[in-house]
Amino acid sequence: MLSQEELERYDRQIMIYGFGEEGQAKLKKASVFIAGCGGLGSPVAIYLAAAGIGSIRIVDHDKVELSNLNRQVLHWHENIGGIKVDSAKVKLEKLNPAVNIETSTETITEANISQLTADCDLIVDAMDNLPTRYLLNKTAVEKGIPFFHGAVYGLEGRAMTVIPGKSACLNCLYHNVTIPREKFPVIGVTPAVIGCIQATEVIKYVTGLGELLTDRLLIYDGLRLTFTELKVNKDPNCEHCSNSQGR
């Protein structure tokens, strides 16, 4: 049941065909885990908070640095030196006080990931390294909850949605390949585009609207302003999902 204030706040999205008060109520009940509070995590968290997701748990162990501010729009000049998730919580609560924002500064590891994601309905991958992305993917598959992948480099981005038991997973796509973690070029508009696509997918999944970006890798090329879709096949020998049945 939505309050009068909620009906007014979300009026324009409730108007979307197929969304309605029922869709809004689904968003209100949803609990989202966002891994990373940087370039991708910022737009994901902002737009999910604005949309009225009930609970958002953000995990990031970093502090805000000056060089983050060209893209990590949840963090402002005044936050330099502060803890990212604290900075994020303040902004998100000001944006939408009704959203429950939980934070953690723990480093995501195999030992704590199950507990960190406990009670969350889905996982958003806003990380900056492949090993943690694989760990998140594996956890989502094991828990049978969706996984929303996004990655950026320069003016390029990728996005893909994983529904365990039904679609190809991140490991089917990249086969556990890792590359050295190094400083990479990026400008804020790129994670803004990809983060908004991830948030769109989350909203669609929760409300049951549209078709998800499953079994498809979306490639965004900002220089040419093109979106290309590539088909991703479920790997029958995938170490993460070949035995998964989904929830």
Partner 1 sequence: MSVEITMSSIFARYTDNQLKIPVEGKTVGECINDLVTQYPDLKRMILDKNGKLLHSYDVFVNGESAYPQEMAKPVKDGDKVQVVMLIQGG
Give the interface with partner 1 as residue ranges (CB under 8 A).
36, 38-41, 125-130, 133, 150-158, 173-175, 177, 179, 181, 184, 186, 191, 217, 219, 221, 223-224, 228-233, 235
Which value, to the nearest 10 degrees, does the dihedral of the CA atoms of residues 80, 148, 11, 86 take?
Answer: -20
Residue 44 vs 163, nearer CB to partner 1: 44
Q: How far is the CB of 174 from partner 1 (least distance, A)?
A: 6
Residue 14 vs 123, nearer CB to partner 1: 123
Q: 51 near 99, Cβ under 8 Å?
A: no
Q: 10 near 53, Cβ under 8 Å?
A: no
Helix, strand, coil % over all residues of the chain, rounded to 5 = 35, 20, 45
Residue 13 vs 105, nearer CB to partner 1: 105
How far is it, in rounded angstroms, from Cα 180 to Cα 129? Answer: 9
Angle between helices 189-207 and 20-29 (to 10 degrees): 110
CA distances 172 to 124, 132, 176, Å, are: 18, 16, 8
Residue 122 vs 172, nearer CB to partner 1: 172
Residue 121 vs 156, nearer CB to partner 1: 156
Residue 102 burial (CB < 10 Å; 0-12/13-18/19+)?
Answer: middle
Q: How far is the CB of 197 from partner 1 (least distance, A)?
A: 13
How far is it, in rounded angstroms, from Cα 11 to Cα 103? Answer: 29
Q: How far is the CB of 101 from partner 1 (least distance, A)?
A: 19
Residue 163 vs 217, nearer CB to partner 1: 217
Q: How far is the CB of 38 from partner 1 (least distance, A)?
A: 6
Neighbours of 217 (CB within 10 A): 18
Q: How far is the CB of 73 from partner 1 (least distance, A)?
A: 14
Q: How far is the CB of 76 from partner 1 (least distance, A)?
A: 19
